[in-house]
Structure 1
Amino acid sequence: MKERDNKKIYQKLDKNLAKFGDSIVNFVVSAALTIFYKKPQGVKVKNHVLRSAWLNTHNRLGVRKPFLMPEDLAEAYIAYLWLTHKLSIEDMIKILISHLVNLKPDPKRTEEAIKRGLEEILRKGGINE
């Protein structure tokens, strides 16, 4: 994807989109964990996990945008992916489950599986493709 197109996407990422993305991220991770562990889960994804996932997939791209930290950019971009029909909620859940299965995590490795799943989600939809 062209740098100019990436810039257009970054311009759409703002604090309100990040707030909405926060809800999406927490839901899809909770749903994936619920399906994987076969027990209802409700989690709040930690900022350091989102920050690491963004920086591992997009380096520092977009970080200079006022008031948005890497974790906010990750949440805003995930909301953008869903709102623009580039990735469905179901697809995000499937991606996360695949990483949980691949790592065969014990509770100590669940966070790593979630981070890797979020990294795969953040690679979708155009930026850096």
Structure 2
Amino acid sequence: MPITLTLTQGALPEGQEAVAIARITDSFLKHHALSGNKVMTPNVTAHVALLPKGHTFAGGKPVEGAWVETKTPSFALADHDVQTAFFGEATQILHELSGGKLDKDRIWANGVHTVDGTWNIDGKAMTNAEIGAAVSNG
């Protein structure tokens, strides 16, 4: 389940990107009651994209900001309470790690649900049902 964190350079102090990813990953797992799950934990992946100032925009104008995007099977982030809790916590994490410099109205997030059967875990394309079965054993 990839999480993409896109940041304008300087939105977080240098070196805080890894802290942000660790905390956002933990939050994702926690809000799905999967903390420590041996199947899901190593399969919540992430990457950070740092973009130079002047290359990130809101309303067509340059802005310093942060964007969180998840790509998940349809059963993840399916409940509005989970969506609200996870994305709210991710926003708070980024705001705090910026030292309050990054206003919450400059942190955007979205979740994308993917086609069933497109998850490749341990070298095998798995359906939602197969993932569910593997997770229940983990």
Fold conserved between structures, TM > 0.5: no
- Superposition TM-score, scaled by structure 2 size: 0.29
In proportion to residue count, which structure has more helix?
A: 1
In proportion to residue count, which structure has more strand?
A: 2
Q: Which one has the largest radius of gyration?
A: 2
- Superposition TM-score, scaled by structure 1 size: 0.30
